[in-house]
A and B are shown apart, each in its own frame.
Chain A
Amino acid sequence: MKNGSLIRLQQLSRRYQMGAETIHALREVSLEIKRGEYVAIMGPSGSGKSTLMNLIGCLDTPTAGQYELNGVLVSDMDDNRLAEIRNKEIGFIFQTFNLLPRADALRNVELPLIYAGASASERRLVALEALTSVGLADRVHHKPNELSGGQRQRVAVARALVNKPSILLADEPTGNLDTKTGNEILALFDELCAKGHTLIVVTHEEDVARRSRRIVRIRDGLIASDEIVKRET
């Protein structure tokens, strides 16, 4: 399995019912992503890229088609099994960080470990380690509103990493950051990629997508193109 497919989507469809109208957000999309890949998913708003991200992140279930993650069929799992998968296999990084405002950085990072059932001492150790790895060892007891945007996103990255997931799933990770801090986060992604993490970044910014190794473009619920990024230098 080491170099097999981590993610295998087969004719995945997702329809929404909006009143009398049926919206085809995703139409029979098939896609494979291997372990260790760094993939950008691009597309204009309304293209279906968010739907695709939600499906890959197991936040949503497809209307039709199959999704295998790590060789396990997840497309027909129930709510609770999906929660377990999200907890263990997927690390989310959101555009708006989505940290709990009343909890400090350490507690935010501990959260996935709580749901995984880790003991208090173990949680603390692992969370501190994760925060150190994103360069926030001196900010562990700061609440989100006491941190800068870049620092908040680092906390979110630490939280995403803490359960050693198979995939890091970032949704417009630099969308709420200025160029400089955005670049810092992207540099952190490069580092994570180099360490062997699988990264999927959903973005509509060409610059951000260019940092990845593979760009999948979505348009009208279909894959419009799937290309390997040529490294310039």
Chain B
Amino acid sequence: MILFTELFEGLKIAWAAIRANKLRSVLTTLGIVIGVVTVTLMGTAIEGLDKAFLKSISFVSADVLYIQKEDWGPKSDAEWRKIQKRREITPEQEAAVERGATMARAIAPVCFSQRLITYNKRSASGVTILGTTDQLLFTGGGLTIADGRFISAAESDGGRPVCVIGTTVATNLFPREPPLGKKVAIDRHAFEVIGVLSRQGDMFGDFDNQAIIPMTQFNTVLERRTGVDMIEVKVRDTTEVEDAKEELRHIMRKARRLAPGDPDDFAINQQDQILDIVHKVIGTIAAVGLFITGLSLFVGGIGIMNIMFVSVAERTREIGIRKAIGAKRRTILMQFIIEAVTICLLGGAIGLGIAWPLTLVVQHFLPASMSLSILGLAILVSLLTGVISGFFPAWRAARMDPVDALRNE
């Protein structure tokens, strides 16, 4: 009960003190306002960045496994060179996977190459050419047809020269006419456009600047590969991903004739690995960003501490009077901490009020919104700033000798 009364009285006194020095209070609060605005915006931006990343990798669904020579994690140059020397993944191994995988819904081999595509006098450069089968439509997440159709089973077996192009290729080559049925040239070989893919996004390389052709065409017309770059495996059920991964690993080891003690000389990649990398990157950005913006809050806190020391010095006599008529150390300590906290919370509230419309601006660039957690964080941070920066001045006030304090003019 006494504590509550003291808290309430402390608030009243703090409010009176803040009002008594309006200009000073406004200037001090400004430091916290700026701090809270920057921290809040940074938090919002990071959350937005996180969301944008996740959205952009949504084409990699959780139930697709990618068998490749290299894994997706970050690695050193030495590791890179070692991985480059690994044996290729052969069509025979791919066939073994197709035969042996019991938990797969669809399996598609993929080869990549960068080529120039031309149509009449127009050209699209650096296009990623994917050699694959009709199954890619069922394995790859996010592959949808905007116009026309995908490669058929017969086309991927028979190797008719057809292609499905991404939106970037389509707009580059066919600015005015419909692309379907037209013959484009890939390395001077004619391919008929049978479909256009819908837009996919470009956070990790331009996935719209691609063209998909049958694997048989890829290997006869463009290149003569002995292996494939990747085998995409869509797992039947998300709950089976780990089991399926283990099964695939077993099949691959057997197909590549690895002795029981040998390490895998291939990798089975999945979404988690990208998520790990993304989270590491965002974590670093968040730590650095919040540290830098936190500095401005720190400066604001120093401002509060400074002004609280002044306030304590100015009110030495008041402290003496209060002590003489029975205020305990705790009471005085609390009174000044409450004053600092009030300034900080006020600054925090104003800061949030300013940051809110600014996040609406940020929303144009990132899928960001001021979340409740950021709101709570901002309030908590301003509260803590108040307590920490108010503590030392309040401590000095609380320890004052009443006789000395009363003598102060």
Contact = CB atoms under 8 A, between A and B. Distances in A.
A118 B318 CA distance: 21
Given A54-B403, A59-B403, A100 B321 contact: yes
A116 interface: yes
Interface stretch (B26-34, B157-165, B202-210, B325-333): B325-333
Interface in A55-80: 57, 59-60, 79-80
Interface residues of B, number: 25
Secondary structure of the B contact surface, majority rule: helix
A142 B229 CA distance: 89
B317 interface: yes
Contacts of A118: 5
A116 B2 CA distance: 8
Contacts of B5: 114, 117-120
Given A54-B403, A102-B20, A79 B328 contact: yes
A8 B2 CA distance: 31
Interface stretch (A86-94, A194-202, A223-231): A86-94
Contacts of A119: 1, 5
A111 interface: yes
B16 A117 contact: no
Contacts of B16: 102-103
Given A115-B331, A117-B2, A60 B403 contact: yes
Contacts of A54: 403
Contacts of A116: 326
Contacts of B6: 114
Given A114-B9, A115-B331, A117-B2, A86 B403 contact: no
Contact of B324 (A84, A98, A114): A98
B103 interface: no
Given A54-B403, A98-B317, A83 B2 contact: no
Nearest to B409: A96
Contacts of A94: 406
A81 to B, nearest CB: 9
B323 A83 contact: yes
Contact of A98 (B321, B329, B401): B321
A117 B2 CA distance: 5
Nearest to B398: A79
B327 A83 contact: yes
A117 B20 CA distance: 26
B325 A86 contact: yes
B294 interface: no
Given A59-B403, A102-B16, A102-B20, A115 B325 contact: yes
Contacts of B326: 83-84, 86-88, 112, 115-116, 163
Contacts of B141: none
B395 to A, nearest CB: 13
A75 to B, nearest CB: 15
A114 B325 CA distance: 10
A35 interface: no
9 contacts: A59-B323, A80-B329, A92-B324, A94-B406, A98-B320, A99-B321, A115-B325, A115-B331, A117-B1
Interface of B: 1-2, 5-6, 9, 16, 20, 317-318, 320-331, 401-403, 406
- The 8 lowest CB-CB distance pairs between A and B, nearest first, are A87-B326, A117-B2, A115-B326, A83-B328, A112-B325, A59-B402, A98-B321, A80-B328
